[in-house]
Structure 1
C-alpha cells in the first residue's frame, strides 16, 4: 500500500508516518523543510520525501503525486505563533483538502482512494444532531471570529461532508476528531465515539498524538475499521 501524508513534519504526522513505515507500507510525504525530518527517514527505501509547500504544487504535480496512492492522510495544522494563527495561508487545511481531493478525482482510479483528515472535537459533525450548550455555542462563535484556524478546520470537514459526500466514485473519507492532544511515547488504550461524549470547551478529554496516529493508520490499513467509520467524524479519547 502507498500512502501520502501531508503535515508529516508535525507532532502527529510524524507518528503516523512512523507507524505506516513500521508496517512496511510505502509512504510519500510533502514537507517544506526536509532537513528537520529524522535521519532514519532519509535512508528508508519505503519513504519518498517531496520537498515543497503543499499549496505551492501545481495541479499537474499534485495529480502525479497521488496517482498511485491508496490513501491520503492530512495532519496539517497551523503553527501556534502569531504568524501561524493570523498570517497566510488562513485556509491551509481546507485548500489542501480540496486540492488533494480534486487531484484524486482527476486520476479517475477504479477503486476509491481513502482520505483521512485530522480535525478537532471543537468542530461539530453537522450531518448529525450533536447538541451543545448555549455557553459552548457562544465560545465557538468567538473562536470563529478570533481564531482563523478554527474556521479552517470547520471548512475542511465541511468540504468532505458536502462536496465529496457519501457517494463519490473516487474518494471515501473519515475526519478524525481528537480532544486535548498530549504527548506520549507508547500507544495506550483509547476509545472511539461517533460524537463527543463531553464538552470540548468546558470538560475536554485528552488523547495522545501517538494514539491518534495509531487510529489513523488503522483506518488506512484495516478495511473493516474503515468500513465502520467511512463518511463519519469519529471522536477519539485516551482511556
Structure 2
C-alpha cells in the first residue's frame, strides 16, 4: 500500500513516515527541505520525497501525487512563531485537506481512500455535543477569534466531518486528537477515547508524538484500528497521563 504524507518533515510527520516504512509501506512524503528530512528519516527504497509545500502545487500536480495512494495523512501545523501563528497561509491545514480531497474525488478511485488528519484535543467533535465547561467555552471562543491556527484546526476537521461525511464513496476519514504533545524515544502504551476525558485547557493530559505517529500509521494501513475509528475523532493520551483522571 502507498500513503501520501503532508507535513512529513514536522516533529510528528517524520515519525509517522518512519512508522509506515517500518511496516513495509510505500510512502510519498511532501516536504519543503528534503535534505534535512532525509538526514532524519534516512534513505529508503520505499520512500519517495516530493520537494514542495502542498499549497504551492498545482491541482494537476496534487492529483498526480494522490493517484494510486491507498491513504493520505496530514501532520500539517502552524509553527509557533509570530509569522507562523499570524502570517500566511492562515488556512494551511484546511486548504490542504480540501485540495487533497478534491484530488481524490477527481481521480475517481476504484476503492475509497483513507484520510488521517492530525488535529487537537482542543477542538471539539460537534457530532457528539461534547460537554465543555463555561470557562473553557469562553477561552476556546477567544482562541477561535484571536489565534488563526486554532480556527484552522477546527475548520479542517469540520471539512471532513460535514463536507465529506461518513458515507462518501471516494474518501473515508479519521481525525486524531492528541492533547499536550511531548517527545519520547519509543512507542508506549496509550489510550483512545471518543471524547476528551479531561479539559484540554484547565487539566490537559500528555501525548507523545511517537504515539500519535504509531496510531496514525495503524489507521493509514487499515485493519482493526480503522474499523473502530473511521468517521470519528478519537482523542489519544499516553496511558500514564490517565492517572488521577476525573
2:149 alignment partner in structure 1: 149
State how far apart, in whole Å, the 2-side matches of 1:109 and 1:203 are: 43
Give the TM-score normalised by structure 1.
Answer: 0.98
1:115 alignment partner in structure 2: 115
State how far apart, in whole Å, the 2-side matches of 1:161 and 1:107 are: 21
State how far apart, in whole Å, the 2-side matches of 1:69 and 1:155 are: 24
Counterpart contact for 1:41–1:47, Cα < 8 Å: no
Q: What is the aligned-residue RMSD (CA, Å)? A: 0.9
Please give the residue correspondences for 1:171-210 in structure 2 after superposition, counting only pairs within 5 Å. 171-210=171-210
Q: Which runs of 4+ in 1 moved over 4 A?
A: none
Counterpart contact for 2:14–2:41, Cα < 8 Å: no
Shift of 1:146: 1.5
Alignment pair present for 1:25 and 2:15: no
Number of paired residues?
239
Extract unaligned runs of 5+ from structure 1. Answer: none
2:58 alignment partner in structure 1: 58
The superposition leaves residues 172-220 of structure 1 with CA deviations (integer Å, 9 ceiling, x where unpaired) of: 0000000010000000000000000000100000010000000000111
SS at match of 2:109: coil
Extract unaligned runs of 5+ from structure 2. Answer: 240-246
2:49 alignment partner in structure 1: 49
1:231 alignment partner in structure 2: 231
Give the TM-score normalised by structure 2.
Answer: 0.95
State how far apart, in whole Å, the 1-side matches of 2:43 and 2:176 are: 30
